[in-house]
Amino acid sequence: MGVVEVAGVGMHPFGRHPDTSTTDMGVVAVRAALAEAEVGRGGFQAAFCGTAYGGVACGHKVLGALGMTGMPIVDVEAGCASGGAALQLAASAISSGQHDCVVVFGVEKMPRGIIRSSFFDPWQEEAGLAATPGYFALRAMRLMHTSGVTKDHLAAVVVKNRRHGAENPDAMFRSEVTAAEVLESRLVCEPLHLWMLCSPNEGAAAVVLRAGTGTGVRLASAVLRSHLPGSVLSESTPMSGLTDDAVVPPTTLAARDAFQESGLGPEDLDVVECQDTDAARELLSYEELGLCPAGGSAELLESGATTLGGRLPVNPSGGLLSKGEPLGASALGQVVELVRQLRDECGSRQVPGARTALSHTVGRGANAGVVVLQR
Amino acid sequence: MGVVEVAGVGMHPFGRHPDTSTTDMGVVAVRAALAEAEVGRGGFQAAFCGTAYGGVACGHKVLGALGMTGMPIVDVEAGCASGGAALQLAASAISSGQHDCVVVFGVEKMPRGIIRSSFFDPWQEEAGLAATPGYFALRAMRLMHTSGVTKDHLAAVVVKNRRHGAENPDAMFRSEVTAAEVLESRLVCEPLHLWMLCSPNEGAAAVVLRAGTGTGVRLASAVLRSHLPGSVLSESTPMSGLTDDAVVPPTTLAARDAFQESGLGPEDLDVVECQDTDAARELLSYEELGLCPAGGSAELLESGATTLGGRLPVNPSGGLLSKGEPLGASALGQVVELVRQLRDECGSRQVPGARTALSHTVGRGANAGVVVLQR
Amino acid sequence: MPVRHGLFVEGPPPALVCGRCGTCAKVHFPRALLCPYCSADTVDEVHVRGPGTLWAFTAVTAPPPGYAGDVPYGFGVVELPEGVRVVARITESDPAALSLDESMELVVVALHTDELGRSVVTYAFAPGS
Amino acid sequence: MPVRHGLFVEGPPPALVCGRCGTCAKVHFPRALLCPYCSADTVDEVHVRGPGTLWAFTAVTAPPPGYAGDVPYGFGVVELPEGVRVVARITESDPAALSLDESMELVVVALHTDELGRSVVTYAFAPGS
Ligand SMILES: [Zn+2]
Ligand SMILES: [Zn+2]
């Protein structure tokens, strides 16, 4: 399989942009990525657009506004992992020799507040079982039970990511917070307080991939996996599961594949961006990705390893807790951050000497996407 | 590139199924296709689901209900060509050697009546410019001007396809109609009467692809292309275009690529399923696909060539005019029909001795998908 | 009236309408046509009555989309002896009054009154006696 | 008030606010930041007044989604001397009263009255004198 390199990245800042259309945000991100890659009209042979709420022909509108159509343009949806799915398809098209250069982007304008997903059936909504933060809370509670995680650890994740995000001009929240402030924010679903949950918002991110020589930033692996049945608290949100705690979660499936494909392991990583839809989800991701042993997430956090300056900074961008979550754009937002980290472009939030990076998203479906990048 | 063969196909009939969920329709189609292919759990390595209105995690729900998850599952949207896009991605994954077997399916439950698409901006709706059948009518009028098509020709397309559809148990409309009845149906937008327009509806279709030996039905090519700018009546529905009638339409781009990839030409085809969203769209497809010279569609229709029993039957399934159009499922519905034609399984609507077939969809975006199948 | 037919029987005693696979013997809820674990179509209907034990719990403090009942309400997962864990409303809406592994009884509770004046009910679990 | 700001000027005489690319010289409508034909960001605003010629026409007989005005109404494409074809409402709602290539004048027409009592207007073309 051929080498795939990241030729350029671009972002439209994540936040609330009532006067900017989905198309306009996409244009900003794609144009910036193409400029970095020095790729113009006719310079790429396919485009993939990740979006969940972008509507019919979302990707076409962006490329139409740019005056760059004609190639296949496909919109892909895989929940929080939509951008990861798009990246995987693009990388395959290049590594297989089908294309030389592919543009991947994600765009989203999320509805405000709790997302009314088409995911749930009407009876689930009527019975109060479409309570998205409730599921997050149940997962958090199980993690507290199995891994010694406390509410103080949950607050500490928020403090860490908001501190990181304060240094990121593309983040929505750019102020630091204290643990006390986090724990004083409104209780949404015990143990989760409002500031422990990311905000759905708006934004765009773009990545240009091309067949490469291995110089620059290389896409070592991009894997998408869905869940195996059996886990009652899976992101697939079943109404029942088995009394079986050994069901391998999709994040672990994807990470195993990505490590195998790239010939790397958790010990090789210098920097990670992972799914922090809520503070507990970040800690669970540590365990599911193999950044620590099962049950070891609280200890890893406490060690300071995952804070900027530590051994393996996680979410140096500030994570979704600082950036907010524009569903179709969030996975590519992580990739943009990591490419910039690997290029040593991140200034005050730079992970010094970072050479190997991993991004992780997981969400409705359930889908998990893992991307490994190397310089 | 490796040979890709169609290992199995399955359908949930197109129509109105108020008591059947999107997931349940998908299960019926996928289960039938897997059974034909003799593929069980663990027997395929990826799945692609084409849908426009299926909502978050549409494909996952189908495979979850089947107890078959774990592999990457990606929902793709490319308007009327969604199924074609899914098929193209699956075929690439196989021909490149990435996977041995991939399941592709399309599912849809369309809203009733004229589709309120997220495609148009609010001001276009408010100004009456989101008039989908109006655009079809303008295209029809131009075709009447350039190709000598009359309203009698438009009625004759409906008569032909409804006659074909009367023999198809998976079609929604299974009665023949007369030209007089078509022309007496309500005028929607001159020259288009109600019966000249397909009905948005519900259904599912599935195809199992695998790396093959070339025996059985072979997927010779699956191409997706988007439009080039300039044509004011392009399916990309711009508000303006150039005074330039030489802009190559996406259908022609996709057909040229598909013919080149398969080493075949229009003269090699035995049977075609093409986009007949309205009666004029079928005739325009004849010209854009190269089934006749530019301006020759009325003559080709009049010759009887495209009727069952003719030299090159078009839409032996009855087309969208008989089957209705469940957006994400319609392209794969064509492929299911053509595979059955190539296997000589179509009984009273069989094209005798058919060995080479082409399917074509085009729609919002604009996207055009062309698939070439051979036995 | 039940929030959906085929989810539970009202009793007394109430029971959850589950599926048990004739091939792999695993139990799932709500009952499906095909086994979500092994794809077999040999699913039998089994009525699961409990009691179970509380496996995870919280309280929902703001009404989620499409929900017209009261808040806060308890929300959790109960493990049943048939080898199945079920997502359910919990009658106790104060998490501090609940504890992991405590015994839970299946009950039927009112959600809201629909536009025709009918009480819409659903399954839930209550801390046991 | 206009159905959208920046689409047209009301005049008299009215004009369509188009973009003309400084790089490839092609004209587009509505005006965009980037040229939809060559991607250049050198787009100048040009006001296109017509008259034009009728290139395609029909009438819409049932209200499309989001439309609150009267039916039937004329709907078509008008070709303008600047090399641009524009989708527009046509003031004549009987296609039999129109013919291809006839001269068309740009006009501003009322669509409906909004919730604040304001008349919402848009651009349209009328058969010429
Ligand atoms: Zn089973
Ligand atoms: Zn230009």
Q: Residues A6, A216: contact at Cβ < 8 Å?
A: yes
Indicate which ligand has the atom closest to the C-alpha of C23.
1
Q: Residues B210, B5: contact at Cβ < 8 Å?
A: yes
Closest CA to B239 of D42, A21, D123: D123
Q: Residues A199, A325: contact at Cβ < 8 Å?
A: yes
> What span, in angstroms and rounded, lies between the C-alpha atoms of B266 and B272?
10
Confidence (pLDDT) at A117: 56
Question: What region, left, alpha or beta, does residue C66 occupy, with left being phi > 0 and alpha being psi -120 to 50 degrees?
Answer: left
Question: B57: how many CB neighbours lie within 10 A of its CB?
Answer: 29
| Nearest CB to A134; choose among C3, C4, C75 | C75
C17 interfacial to chain B (CB closer than 8 Å): no
Tokens representing A47 are 């485009």
- Beta strands in B57-100, from DSSP E residues, in sequence order: 73-77
Query: Which whole number is the average pLDDT over A295-303?
Result: 98
Please report, for the domain that includes residue A360, its CATH number: 3.40.47.10
List the single residue in B with minimal CA-CA distance to A77: B75
Mean pLDDT of chain D: 96
Domain map of chain C by residue range? 8-127
**pLDDT at A136 > cutoff 60:** yes
Burial of D5 (0-12, 13-18, 19+ CB in 10 A): exposed
Q: How far is CA D81 from CA B243, C71, D6, D38, in A?
A: 9, 65, 21, 21
Q: Cα angle vertex A196, ends A191, A201, to 5°?
A: 135
Quote the number of domains for chain B.
1
Are chains A and D touching, using the cut-off of 8 Å on CB pairs and a minimum of 3 such pairs?
yes
Closest CA to B301 of B289, B319, B287: B287
- Residues whose CB is less than 8 angstroms from the CB of residue A21 and which lie 6 or more positions away in sequence, other chains included: A109
pLDDT tens digit string along C107-124? 999 999 988 899 999 999
The confidence band for B81, taking pLDDT boundaries of 50, 70 and 90, is: confident
Q: How far is CA A270 from CA A167, A282, A341, in A?
A: 19, 17, 10
Is residue B188 one of the residues assigned to a domain?
A: no
How much is the pTM? 0.95
Tokens representing A350 are 């730079």
Is residue B56 one of the residues assigned to a domain?
A: yes
**What is the share, in percent, of chain A residues with pLDDT greater than 90?**
87
Query: Which whole number is the average pLDDT over B222-233?
Result: 96
B188 interfacial to chain D (CB closer than 8 Å): yes
Query: Which whole number is the average pLDDT over A9-24?
Result: 94
List the single residue in B with minimal CA-CA distance to D95: B190
**pLDDT at A16 > cutoff 70:** yes
Is residue A299 one of the residues assigned to a domain?
A: yes
Least confident range from A249-263, B99-113, C49-63, D29-43: namely B99-113
Would you call A80 a catalytic residue per the annotation?
yes
Do the bridges between strand B367-374 and strand B356-363 make them parallel or antiparallel, or are there none, so unpaired? antiparallel
Fill in the amino acid letter for A277: T
Taking CB atoms and an 8 Å cutoff, what residues of chain A touch D33? 27, 65
Confidence (pLDDT) at B169: 94
The confidence band for A111, taking pLDDT boundaries of 50, 70 and 90, is: low
**C20: three-class secondary structure by DSSP:** strand
Interface touch A130/C66, C-beta < 8 Å: yes
Is residue A238 one of the residues assigned to a domain?
A: yes
> What span, in angstroms and rounded, lies between the C-alpha atoms of A223 and A255?
8
Confidence (pLDDT) at B52: 86
> What span, in angstroms and rounded, lies between the C-alpha atoms of A208 and A230?
37
> What span, in angstroms and rounded, lies between the C-alpha atoms of A174 and A290?
30
Least confident range from A99-113, A283-297, A331-345: namely A99-113
**D9: three-class secondary structure by DSSP:** strand
State the DSSP code for A325. B
Answer positive or negative: Cα dihedral of D88, D94, D100, D101. negative
> What span, in angstroms and rounded, lies between the C-alpha atoms of B326 and B348?
24
Interface touch A75/B76, C-beta < 8 Å: yes
| Nearest CB to A64; choose among D33, D36, D38 | D36
Enclosing domain of residue B82? 4-113+197-374
Confidence (pLDDT) at A334: 97
Interface touch B126/D66, C-beta < 8 Å: yes
pLDDT tens digit string along B303-339? 999 999 999 999 999 999 999 999 899 999 999 999 9
Mutual angle of helices A22-37 and A58-65, in 10-degree steps: 60
| Nearest CB to B126; choose among D60, D73, D111 | D111
**pLDDT at A164 > cutoff 90:** yes
**pLDDT at A208 > cutoff 60:** yes
C37 CA distance to ligand 1 middle (Å) = 5
Query: Which whole number is the average pLDDT over A167-182?
Result: 96
Query: Which whole number is the average pLDDT over D66-91?
Result: 97
Low-confidence spans in chain C with pLDDT less than 70: 129
List the single residue in B with minimal CA-CA distance to D86: B240
Confidence (pLDDT) at B293: 97
pLDDT tens digit string along D88-128? 999 999 999 999 999 999 999 999 998 889 999 999 999 98
List the single residue in C with minimal CA-CA distance to B65: C36
Mean pLDDT of chain B: 94
Fill in the amino acid letter for A97: G
Is residue A151 one of the residues assigned to a domain?
A: no
Interface touch A69/B227, C-beta < 8 Å: yes
The confidence band for B78, taking pLDDT boundaries of 50, 70 and 90, is: confident
- Residues whose CB is less than 8 angstroms from the CB of residue B323 and which lie 6 or more positions away in sequence, other chains included: B14, B165, B168, B170, B171, B172, B173, B198, B203, B317, B330, B333
Interface touch A227/B85, C-beta < 8 Å: no
Which of A49, A58, A80, A198 does the annotation list as catalytic?
A: A80
Neighbours of ion ligand 2 (CB under 5 A): D 21, 23-24, 35, 37-38, 40
Confidence (pLDDT) at A366: 85
Taking CB atoms and an 8 Å cutoff, what residues of chain B touch C37? 67
Is residue A85 one of the residues assigned to a domain?
A: yes
**What is the share, in percent, of chain B residues with pLDDT greater than 70?**
97
Q: How far is CA C14 from the centre of its chain?
A: 11
D95 to chain B, minimum CA–CA distance in Å? 7
Confidence (pLDDT) at C3: 95
Confidence (pLDDT) at B112: 58
| Nearest CB to D69; choose among B114, B128, B240 | B128
Is residue B190 one of the residues assigned to a domain?
A: no
**pLDDT at A114 > cutoff 60:** no
Is residue A161 one of the residues assigned to a domain?
A: no
Q: How far is CA A75 from CA A110, B81, B221, B311, in A?
A: 17, 11, 21, 37
C70 to chain A, minimum CA–CA distance in Å? 9
Chains near B with 3+ CB pairs less than 8 A apart are: A, C, D
Query: Which whole number is the average pLDDT over B286-295?
Result: 98
**pLDDT at B1 > cutoff 70:** no
